[in-house]
Structure 1
Amino acid sequence: MSLTRLQISASLAPVVLPAFYVTATESSAISQLRLVDWNLAADDVATVLYDVDGDTRVFVDAARETDGIEDVEVPRSTGGSGFVLVTATPDALPFFRTFLVLTARAGLLVRSPVTYSDFETRGEVVGDAEALQAAVDTAPQTIDVSIEEIGSQPSVRMDPLSALSIRQREAVRTAFEHGYYRHPRETTHAELADELGCAPNTVSEHLQKAEVKLIKALVP
Structure 2
Amino acid sequence: MRYVRVEFAFPPSVRHPMHDFLDDGDGWRSDLLTWRRLPDETFVTLFRVVAPRERYLERLRAIDSIDRFETAPGDDAFYLKAYDRLGGPLETFLGAFVDTEFLSVPPIAFRAGGRLSFGVIGPPDQLRDVLSAVPDPIDVSVERIGSYGGGRRLAGADLTERQREALRAARRVGYYDVPRTGSVADVAEAIGCSPSTAGAHLRKGEAALVGAFLAG
- The interval holding the TM-score normalised by the smaller chain is 0.5 to 0.7
Contact 2:38 2:44 in 1 (8 A): no
Q: Which ranges in structure 2 are unaligned for 5 or more consecutive residues? A: 154-207
Q: Taking structure 1 as reference, are residues 151 and 36 closer, same or farther at Cα in structure 2, changes over 3 Å only?
A: same
Contact 1:8 1:146 in 2 (8 A): yes
SS in 2 for 1:125: strand
Matched with 1:38 is: 35
Q: Distance in 2 between matches of 1:144 and 1:128?
A: 21
Q: Taking structure 1 as reference, are residues 67 and 45 closer, same or farther at Cα in structure 2, changes over 3 Å only?
A: same
SS in 2 for 1:103: coil
Work out whether 1:69 is the aligned partner of 2:63.
Answer: no
The offset of 1:41, in angstroms, is 3.9
Root-mean-square deviation over aligned CA pairs: 2.5
Matched with 2:19 is: 21
Deviations 1:43-99 (A, max 9, x none): 421111110112122221111111210112112x456621011111132x842x333
Contact 1:54 1:80 in 2 (8 A): no
Query: Which stretch shows the higher mean deviation, 65-74 or 51-60?
Result: 51-60
Q: Distance in 2 between matches of 1:55 and 1:108?
A: 34
Work out whether 1:85 is the aligned partner of 2:89.
Answer: no
Percent identical:
19
1:142 to 134, 137, 146: 137
Contact 1:103 1:132 in 2 (8 A): no
Q: Taking structure 1 as reference, are residues 33 and 43 closer, same or farther at Cα in structure 2, changes over 3 Å only?
A: same
The offset of 1:146, in angstroms, is 1.7
The offset of 1:32, in angstroms, is 1.0
Matched with 1:198 is: none
Structure showing greater radius of gyration is 1
The offset of 1:156, in angstroms, is 1.2
Contact 1:56 1:80 in 2 (8 A): no
Matched with 1:183 is: none
The offset of 1:100, in angstroms, is 2.7
- Runs of 4+ more than 3 Å apart: 77-80
Q: TM-score under structure 2 normalisation?
A: 0.64
Matched with 2:182 is: none
